[in-house]
Every structure is written in C-alpha cells, then in structure tokens.
A and B are shown apart, each in its own frame.
Chain A
C-alpha cells in the first residue's frame, strides 16, 4: 500500500509537547536495537518518529509501542545520540490516543517496568532497566 504523505498530522502536537522538532532524529536506530521490549513492540522508537513525520497518525496511535515505551524505562532516551526525549514523546502520544478514545493496549505496564515502579533504587537512578552487563534485571 502506498502511503500518502502530508503535513497535517499529530506531529505538530508532539513537537509542541516536547518543544523540539522531530526532524532531529538521525534514524540511526540505536533506540530499537537496545530496547528491552523487543518481544512485544510493533514499532521501534525511530519508526514511531518516522511514522509521525509521514503523518501516519493511526499507525502510531494504534501501536502497542506507545503503551510499552517510556514508563520508568529510559533505555532508548539514555542512548539517543541527539537526546530526543522519547519518554515525553510517548507520553504525549498516549494522551493523544486517550483523547481520540483509543483504549490502552496494556492496562498494566509490562513486568519489566512494573518491577521498576516498585524498586526505589532504580526509580532513584532513573536508569535504563538494566544492570552494567546490559541484561534485564
């Protein structure tokens, strides 16, 4: 299916929300490569951004990723070479989805960040949900 590119999507809402243009994304894909939710996600963070730039709003708002990403996990944001606030982007998108009556794909955060929600040490450090050896704790 060929996608029709236009300019009027929720990209503007997101950019306003984070006060930065999404065109900062290099599409280097470092974010998706290190993501802790590989078994569940449908879009990687950089695909969310590219889809927003292409105004594929439905694809983004209907995705599982926006409900998985950025809740007490800063894995992608911590390594993003241009420092895009991916957590904030996902928060804006969740808000937008709720406004449009889209039901959350996950009622509960996944177990990984559920654990981190209740772990004072990780909450304090705000670090990626991983230890030094890079594995999920």
Chain B
C-alpha cells in the first residue's frame, strides 16, 4: 500500500489520518505549528452540547498518536508537489531539514482563521480592552478571566460576515451557535451577569441547535435583540452599545462591561500559496474549491488532492470530522 500525505493537524486532518491508519494504510500527518489540534485546541466547550473541548480533542489526538502507520511531523510545511494521482513526489520542510516522500494522494486540511476585526473601529476594537473577539473570549473563559459581579455582556453577531464593505459576503455559519454558547458559559460562570445577543437572523442549523438557542433565551435569560450593532461608545468606565431594535423599529442602547465580537471565519493564512503549491483552485475568498459542491465535496480541482474541513467553507466540528472521514476513504482507494 502506498502512503498518503495529510496537511493540517486540526480535527479534520487528525480524523482523516486516523481513519487511513485504522484501515491499515500508512499516512504522514504534517502540522505547521508545534502542537496538534488547530482551532479546536483554542476552545473550552463545544456546542450544542457543552462538551469539554480539551478532553474530546485530546482523546482523538491520543488515539491518532497510538496508531501504527501514522507518522506525525510537527513544525512541518509542504514545499513542493510533483507527479499525479497515485504517484506524487512531495518535498517537506521539517525541523530536521528537507525531506522527500512518495505518496499516492494528498489530503489538504489546513483549517480556517478567525478574522481580526481591525476595520471595525465603530465597535472600538483595538481601542478598548473591553471589546474582544469570540476567540479571545474563549481564552478568557479558559483562564478564568470572565468578568465578575453584576455585569452586562453584549455579544455581536456578523462581524466581518455578511458584510460586503468591510468583510465577507458569506455567512460564517457557526457564529450564531457559538455566541449562544458563550452567553450560556457567561451565565453559568457568573449567574449575576446579564447577557445580550444582537442578531440579524439566527442561523443555527443542525441537530439540537435550535433547542440550544432557545435554551439560551429561556433557561439562561439571554436577551436576543434583532438589529446589527451600529456602534460601541466609551461611557466612563463602561461601554455603550447602540443599535436599532428592528422588531419595534426603535433605536436602543445598552450599557456594557464587555463586548464580544463574533468575527468571521476566513480562509487559513496562506491558503492561496498552499493552493498554488498543490496545483488546486480556490474560490473568490481563498477557500479551496471543490469540484462539485453536492456529491464531490472533498474532491479538489486536481485528481488525487482531496479536501477536508473548514479550508473549503465555514463549518462546525461535526462536519469537519465527516469530511475528514470521506477524504480518507478517497485516499484509501488510491493507496491500494
């Protein structure tokens, strides 16, 4: 059996490598950082079930590491690709130097990047330490730094998503659900807190997602207000969040101690360069282009190069795992 190369040690890449090895084939998993886990490793809890993200991920990483047939190369990037499906020669840049390998196929799973909302000065991002991104909120939660006492926390949807002017036209898909998760986490950690979510539409499509959002409203008393936040102003030690409650058509304001911006999921840093090395196409945003969206979601525009996870479009963990498994089966066909 021939080897497969998997690029990216996030949940999609880990799953793909794990499935290939469990089916008795050999796989090289490369990760450019020095740790496996990708974006999953930055989370505290999952949704719609508040699962312990670290425990879930570590279980997968341990399973992957214990399998024979998987070679994991951290701090490693792909430099060059030659050949065609069934017979690629790949050049890797590892901490120990250059290395050439022959593989039957390549699975690209480089993940995604949370957009840095620096363009959103109207939200005081970068100007106030009380305005953070959702990713920073995860870090604050993990380090026990969520605000204490009687505080108002405001969650802002669609920062960079559905925004042709400053961000991306697309919907990032997971922000509605993870903002609800954050509001619930906030209320659980600090029952004295009052939480507000400003939304345009609530797009929570998945098993248990609608119930999850409803539980944020009904059980955790999170106030959902329909209207995109227009601006955040400093008000003494606090912040003032201004928007329109579009359901009653009236401008409103809420005092806040912390404002959390749900920033868009964008293609991973350097996705176009990686696509060039692989010889595959990207879409208008820099996500990897699948050859057919419905029945060939993990086929890139080049035979023998498969796609997995959020390098193709914004997606949740469950979809990334599913895509990792599908890419693995495609790779196994060429590995035989």
The answer to whether A and B belong to the same complex is yes
A interface list, Cβ under 8 A from B? 26-35, 38, 44, 46-47, 79-83, 132-135
B interface list, Cβ under 8 A from A? 121-122, 127, 158, 162-167, 200, 226-234, 242-244, 246, 249, 251-252
15 extra interface residue pairs, beta carbon distance < 8 Å, beyond A31-B244, A82-B164, A134-B233: A27-B200, A29-B227, A29-B228, A29-B244, A30-B228, A33-B230, A34-B122, A35-B230, A38-B251, A46-B246, A79-B122, A79-B230, A81-B158, A81-B162, A83-B165
**Contact (Cβ within 8 A) B249 A44:** yes
**Contact (Cβ within 8 A) B165 A82:** yes
**Contact (Cβ within 8 A) B165 A80:** yes
**Contact (Cβ within 8 A) A34 B249:** no
**Contact (Cβ within 8 A) B229 A30:** yes
A83 to B233, CA, bound (A): 23
Chain A interface SS verdict (over half): loop
Residues of chain A within 8 A (CB-CB) of B246 are: 27, 29, 32, 46
A44 to B246, CA, bound (A): 9
**Contact (Cβ within 8 A) B164 A83:** yes
Query: Contacting B244 at CB < 8 Å: which of A44, A133, A134?
Result: A44
A129 CB to nearest chain B CB (Å)? 13
Residues of chain A within 8 A (CB-CB) of B162 are: 26, 28, 81
**Contact (Cβ within 8 A) B228 A81:** yes
11 A-B pairs, CB-CB below 8 angstroms? A26-B200, A29-B244, A30-B227, A30-B229, A31-B244, A32-B230, A33-B231, A44-B249, A80-B165, A82-B165, A132-B121
**Contact (Cβ within 8 A) A33 B234:** no
**Contact (Cβ within 8 A) A35 B165:** no
A70 to B167, CA, bound (A): 24
Residues of chain A within 8 A (CB-CB) of B121 are: 132
**Contact (Cβ within 8 A) B244 A32:** yes
A64 to B294, CA, bound (A): 50
A32 to B198, CA, bound (A): 14
**Contact (Cβ within 8 A) A134 B122:** yes
